[in-house]
Every structure is written in structure tokens, then in C-alpha cells.
């Protein structure tokens, strides 16, 4: 009986079905995340809405530049190296948000973003994993579910970068 069960497990495991990486609890080994937050800065702006750029590189290196009015297209300095548990936490926020899904209303093709309207804060998030690249854009602070989830992702990266 045990041999039969083992054979069934082996056959099922080799069925050739590809697991969607978004369903994984642990971050894919090639995960890289680029987050740019466009908006206005000031003393009363919460950290998740401050203009910034966060780069989480493969291997857990976190780079951050915060407080510029327009995130630059260059690499910010290294802030710290994250533990695998911290990278997994960022991955779970991304994967469970639904923002990476094909049908997400915030999905954008390419990495272009328009400058937000005055008083608006926009986040552009690009995630690369398992050989795919997916980007989404969300207006932060507008109250919708996509906005709230995107803001959680930005806030987690800001926290990990040591922003207060």
C-alpha cells in the first residue's frame, strides 16, 4: 500500500504542470522589485507616500532613495541586506495583493508612468520573478483596495529601509 501511495505521489509530482510562482509562499530565488513613488514631499506626508525609489535586488540587497521630488532612474545606494524571511514577507505582500495578476486593473505594460496630478501620489511597482516581469501602478491614498495594498507594499519597503 505504501509503495502504491509513493508511486502516485511521484507520478503526480512529475505530471508537468507548472506552478504559478505567485502562488508560492516563499519568494522565488530570482525575485527583484523596483518601486517608484511619485508625489509631493513635506513634513506631514506619511512614509508610504513620500517620493522615493526602492530596489530589492536578487539576493536580498535593498537600495533606497527617499525624499526626492522625482525618483531618479539611477541605482540608489545600498541600504541593507534583507534576511530570507524579510524577502519572503515582501513577496507575500506582492503575491497576495492580487496586483500582479493578469486581470489586475492597475497592470501596466512597460515601465512608463505619467507624472501624477498635483496632490496625488502614484506608485509604480515592477516585479521580476520566474522569468516574467509584471508592473502595476496605483494612486496611493485614494481609498480603494488596490491603493491600500500598494501602500502596504511601499510601507513595508520603507520600514525595511529604516524610514520613519
Domain ranges of the chain: 20-160
Tens digit of pLDDT for each residue in 38-85?
888 888 888 898 999 999 999 999 999 988 655 566 778 899 999 999
* Rounded average pLDDT over 7-16: 35
Instruction: Give the predicted TM-score (pTM) of the model.
Output: 0.79
Q: Does domain 20-160 have CATH number 2.40.10?
A: no
| H or E element in which residue 66 lies | strand 61-66
Q: Specify the higher pLDDT residue, 49 or 113.
A: 49
| Non-local CB neighbours of 33 within 8 Å, separated by 6+ positions | 54, 55, 56, 90, 94, 125, 126, 127, 128, 157
Residue 13 has a pLDDT of 39
- 121 pLDDT exceeds 80? yes
Q: What is the pLDDT of residue 112?
A: 53
Task: Compute the average pLDDT of residues 2-18.
Answer: 36
How far apart are the C-alpha atoms of 110 and 32, rounded to whole Å? 16
Amino acid at each position: 500500500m505504501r509503495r502504491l501511495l509513493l508511486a502516485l505521489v511521484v507520478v503526480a509530482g512529475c505530471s508537468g504542470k507548472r506552478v504559478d510562482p505567485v502562488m508560492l509562499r516563499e519568494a522565488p530565488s530570482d525575485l527583484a522589485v523596483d518601486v517608484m513613488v511619485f508625489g509631493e514631499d513635506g513634513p506631514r506626508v506619511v512614509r508610504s507616500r513620500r517620493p522615493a525609489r526602492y530596489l530589492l535586488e536578487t539576493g536580498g540587497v535593498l537600495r533606497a532613495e527617499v525624499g526626492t521630488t522625482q525618483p531618479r532612474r539611477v541605482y540608489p545606494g545600498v541600504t541593507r541586506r534583507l534576511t530570507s524571511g524579510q524577502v519572503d514577507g515582501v513577496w507575500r505582500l506582492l503575491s497576495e495583493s492580487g496586483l500582479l495578476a493578469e486581470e489586475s486593473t492597475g497592470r501596466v505594460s512597460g515601465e512608463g508612468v505619467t507624472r501624477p496630478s498635483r496632490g496625488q501620489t502614484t506608485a509604480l511597482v515592477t516585479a521580476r520573478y520566474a522569468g516574467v516581469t509584471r508592473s502595476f501602478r496605483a494612486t496611493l491614498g485614494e481609498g480603494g483596495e488596490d491603493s491600500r495594498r500598494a501602500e502596504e507594499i511601499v510601507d513595508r519597503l520603507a520600514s525595511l529601509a529604516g524610514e520613519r
